[in-house]
Amino acid sequence: MKLQLDKKTLAIGILSLTAALLLAANIVSSPKAQAADTIRGDQYFAVTGRVAQGGDGLYLTNRDGVMVVFIYNPNTRLVEPRAIKSVVDAFNGAGPAVNPGKHLH
């Protein structure tokens, strides 16, 4: 007994196989949500991104080149300043960050 496939049956089979492969790929490798937005104003830039200690941070930079990093603290449920540095120092790795508690009051 010889099995004959017409074009319609072959097309349905290929499309079904492709749909199954795409479904499996979507289930296996579902991407994680990441925050990475940029907002630009006249006097500042605001960028969200990952922080080295884990979690997300809000990076604010003004026209003078000063950057402040804010991080959400789940224990206090507040957004707290983590560091204040010039952009040049932050990207060169020069010196520790200024204690934000002394300058943000």
What distances in angstroms separate CA 8 from CA 4, 5, 15, 22, 39, one per listed residue?
Answer: 12, 8, 11, 21, 52
pLDDT for the residue 15: 94
- What are the tens digits of pLDDT across the range 45-56? 888 887 777 777
pLDDT for the residue 14: 93
Strand partners, 46: 39, 60
What distances in angstroms separate CA 47 from CA 39, 54, 59, one per listed residue?
Answer: 6, 16, 5
Q: 38 or 97: whose pLDDT is higher?
A: 38
pTM: 0.50
Residue 58 has pLDDT above 70, yes or no: yes
Residue in the structure block whose two tokens are 């790795």 = 93
What the block records as the tokens of 96 is 């520790």
The domain segmentation of the chain, as residue ranges, is: 38-96
